[in-house]
């Protein structure tokens, strides 16, 4: 399970997102080959490996080819909105391509989000919003390109920290706009995207394209979860001069499972419990999901009968003691609970190391476990199920075959 952690300490834009993916190893040639499936012409891509504030990273830029440059002028707002490509045109360019269905769906959803915001801001209908020539090509490359990048890098999940914008105003083709720019402010309505502004940076750090992508693609907002190991760090530069490092930092993370080695045979764990007689099934499921995402080692519910014969649930979770405060807060926020019980427990655990093993059915993570002279192995179940499906074999049979292979090699 590969996750991309984004740290937008200096905001986010389409080219910063792509620069970051290139710095994390996205291959430029593979990227261009995939992007060509859009069959859009009139642009050139530049990827520069450079350093800013002595930090090395990648700068990704989209420029219009000479024949298109001639047509672009600094038009007024009305003209900008009546020339170029509207949402429907952009969606048909994407949907008529031979890109994967998931890229098409994701890119269209982001364009729809941005166009809706622009329509609201400018008081127009969504189909009246036209991305002018530069903006259209640039945005198509950035939005579609980002999802191509995620697919090529085989990223399963995106986690993002707080978006940091500047303050003040910026000058665009049709006037002066406040920062955060209107389309970004519009997309922030009822969104969970964490956002703050730097008073010392008097320009835009979060662009509509950057915000639209982050809002759609992010699975979880917050810090890097405890169960992830950072395996690679990359920087994608922005083009604005901000007076400090203008970059987006990305970290490729893997679940601890991939390179975990636990040597101690005992530790301490916190058991947190709360009894709930007024919770809905929806709230319970939501709370369970969030607690797991935020680092609980396990979360489960037990049916109980409470005072006055009330059928109820006990929501229980196990967590590292250092995580308990954060998780208790989530329990209070996400359920009707007004009190929780905590017990610090001694835990016995098997020593373990995890290795990726190549088998003729495919790669699988194997856990090697030992305790006081006794040892055993176990296979990562989700991967086993995937391999069973791919190889059209029953899970049980595949487990036996892989276990036999691992034990004999
Ligand atoms: O051209 C228009 S209508 C326009 C609207 C807005 C609003 O917020 S509304 C913002 N901008 C600025 O244009 C550039 C390009 O943005 P991308 O997201 O395409 O990179 C950026 O500075 C926007 O804030 C233009
Ligand atoms: Ni606009």
Distance 216 CA to ligand 2 centre (A): 19
User: Which ligand places an atom closest to the C-alpha of 207?
Assistant: 1
| Residues sharing a CB contact under 8 Å with residue 346, sequence separation 6 or more, in sequence order | 266, 267, 268
Instruction: Answer whether 253's CB lies under 8 Å from 224's CB.
Output: yes
Domain residue limits, the chain:
2-257, 266-348, 352-408
Which of 182, 184, 195 shows the shortest CA–CA distance to 221? 195
Q: Quick check: CB of 181 below 6 Å from ligand 1?
A: yes
Q: What are 209-220's pLDDT values in tens digits? A: 999 999 999 998
Q: Quick check: CB of 186 below 6 Å from ligand 1?
A: no
Distance set, CA 138 to CA 61, 91, 93 (Å): 9, 15, 14
**pLDDT per residue as tens, the chain (409 positions):** 799 999 999 999 999 999 999 999 999 999 999 999 999 998 999 999 999 999 999 999 999 887 665 444 333 333 334 446 889 999 999 999 999 999 999 999 999 999 999 999 999 999 988 876 556 889 999 999 999 999 999 999 999 999 999 999 999 887 999 999 999 999 999 999 999 999 999 999 999 999 999 999 999 898 888 778 899 999 999 999 999 999 999 999 987 655 566 667 788 999 999 999 999 999 999 999 999 988 899 999 999 999 999 999 999 999 999 999 999 999 999 999 999 999 999 999 998 888 889 999 999 999 999 998 899 999 989 899 999 999 999 999 999 999 999 988 8
- Residue 74: its pLDDT value, please? 36
Which is it for strands 85-86 and 175-178: parallel, antiparallel or unpaired? unpaired
Q: What is the dihedral of CA 376, 379, 381, 384, to 10 degrees?
A: -150
Q: Quick check: CB of 204 below 6 Å from ligand 1?
A: yes
Distance 248 CA to ligand 2 centre (A): 24
Distance CA 279, CA 293 (A): 20
pTM: 0.70
Q: For tokens 């620069």, name the residue.
A: 19
Sheet with 261-262: strands ordered across: 261-262, 351-359, 362-371, 374-379
Q: What are 274-322's pLDDT values in tens digits? A: 999 999 999 999 999 999 988 899 999 999 999 999 999 999 999 999 9
Atom of ligand 1 nearest to the CA of 208: 18
Q: What are 328-359's pLDDT values in tens digits? A: 999 999 999 999 999 999 999 998 888 889 99
- The matching CATH number, chosen from 3.20.20.210, 2.120.10.30, 3.30.70.1380, 3.40.50.10490, for 266-348 is 3.30.70.1380
Instruction: Answer whether 255's CB lies under 8 Å from 295's CB.
Output: no
Sheet with 2-7: strands ordered across: 43-52, 55-64, 228-237, 247-255, 2-7, 157-160, 220-221
């Amino acid at each position: 399970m590969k996750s991309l952690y984004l740290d937008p300490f200096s905001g986010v834009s389409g080219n910063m997102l792509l620069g970051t993916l290139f710095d994390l190893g996205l291959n430029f040639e593979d990227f261009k080959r995939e992007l060509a499936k859009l069959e859009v012409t009139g642009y050139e891509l530049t990827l520069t490996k450079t350093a800013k504030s002595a930090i090395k990273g990648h700068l990704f830029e989209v420029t219009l080819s000479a024949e298109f440059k001639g047509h672009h002028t600094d038009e007024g707002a009305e003209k900008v909105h009546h020339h170029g490509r509207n949402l429907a045109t952009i969606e048909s360019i994407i949907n008529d391509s031979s890109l994967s269905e998931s890229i098409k769906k994701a890119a269209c959803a982001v364009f729809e989000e941005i166009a809706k915001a622009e329509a609201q801001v400018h008081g127009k209908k969504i189909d009246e919003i036209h991305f002018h020539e530069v903006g259209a090509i640039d945005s198509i490359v950035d939005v579609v390109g980002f999802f191509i990048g995620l697919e090529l890098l085989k990223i399963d999940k995106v986690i993002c920290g707080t978006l940091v914008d500047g303050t003040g105003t910026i000058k665009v083709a049709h006037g002066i706009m406040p920062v955060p720019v209107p389309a970004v402010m519009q997309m922030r309505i009822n969104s969970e995207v964490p956002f703050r502004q730097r008073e010392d940076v008097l320009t835009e750090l979060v662009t509509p394209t950057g915000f639209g992508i982050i809002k759609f693609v992010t699975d979880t907002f917050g810090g890097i979860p405890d169960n992830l190991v950072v395996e690679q760090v990359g920087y994608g530069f922005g083009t604005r001069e901000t007076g400090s490092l203008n970059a987006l930092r990305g970290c490729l993370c893997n679940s601890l499972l991939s390179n975990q080695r636990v040597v101690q045979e005992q530790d301490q764990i916190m058991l947190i419990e709360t009894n709930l007689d007024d919770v809905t099934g929806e709230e319970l499921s939501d709370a369970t999901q969030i607690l797991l995402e935020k680092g609980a080692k396990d979360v489960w519910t037990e049916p109980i009968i409470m005072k006055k014969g009330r059928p109820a649930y006990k929501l229980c979770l196990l967590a590292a003691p250092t995580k308990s405060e954060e998780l208790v807060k989530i329990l209070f926020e996400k359920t009707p609970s007004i009190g929780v019980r905590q017990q610090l427990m001694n835990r016995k655990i098997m020593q373990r190391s995890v290795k990726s093993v190549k088998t003729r059915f495919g790669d699988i993570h194997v856990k090697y476990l030992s305790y006081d002279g006794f040892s055993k192995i176990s296979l990562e179940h989700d991967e086993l199920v995937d391999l069973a499906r791919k190889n059209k074999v029953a899970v049980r049979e595949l487990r036996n075959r892989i276990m036999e292979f691992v034990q004999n090699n």
